């Protein structure tokens, strides 16, 4: 695993306005946007893992579609599989969902959140910014 950058922006939302009951808010998708950039984690997976990943992302149900994007990494450009939400209705994500993204990036590179991935106008770790809804975790929530 490593880090990379794409000419996109990260958005949160729901497929057709059907809000995710597990995450209590919008989930991530990428939107093409030249001049903007999203930094994130690049994972290396076996081709045999694609079917289970497609199931997780509900490709057969039309929620996400797999797309190929060019990712700039410290070692050069890579063609990577990414999942883009179909018929996205944009909205706020939950503090819990943002925390999971944060933990995933920190596992790969403990300095990533301090440098590229989370240098913007909201505190990702506390989820105090404008992209976050007010859902508070209960027992059993992630």
Residue ranges and CATH numbers for the domains of the chain are 2-114 (3.10.490.10)
What's the token pair of residue 2?
């490593």
pLDDT at site 18: 92
**Model pLDDT, residue 130:** 47
d(CA 131, CA 100): 15
Whether the model pTM is above 0.85: no
60 versus 73: which is more confidently predicted?
60
Query: How confident is the model over 1-48, as pLDDT tens digits?
Result: 788 888 888 889 999 999 878 889 999 999 888 888 888 888 889 999
Residues 57, 58, 68, 77: which is the catalytic one?
57
Whether 97 has a binding-site annotation, put simply, is yes
Active site (annotated) includes residue 57: yes
């Amino acid at each position: 695993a490593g880090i990379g950058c794409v000419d996109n922006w990260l958005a949160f939302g729901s497929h057709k306005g059907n809000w995710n009951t597990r995450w209590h808010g919008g989930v991530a998708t990428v939107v093409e946007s030249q001049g903007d950039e999203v930094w994130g984690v690049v994972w290396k997976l076996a081709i045999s893992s694609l079917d289970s990943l497609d199931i997780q992302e509900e490709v057969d149900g039309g929620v996400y579609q797999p797309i190929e994007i060019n990712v700039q990494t410290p070692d050069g450009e890579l063609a990577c599989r990414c999942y883009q939400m179909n018929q996205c209705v944009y909205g706020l994500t939950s503090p819990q969902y943002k925390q999971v993204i944060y933990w995933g990036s920190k596992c790969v590179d403990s300095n990533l959140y301090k440098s590229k991935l989370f240098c913007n106008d909201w505190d990702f770790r506390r989820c105090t910014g404008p992209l976050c809804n007010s859902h508070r975790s209960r027992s059993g929530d992630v």
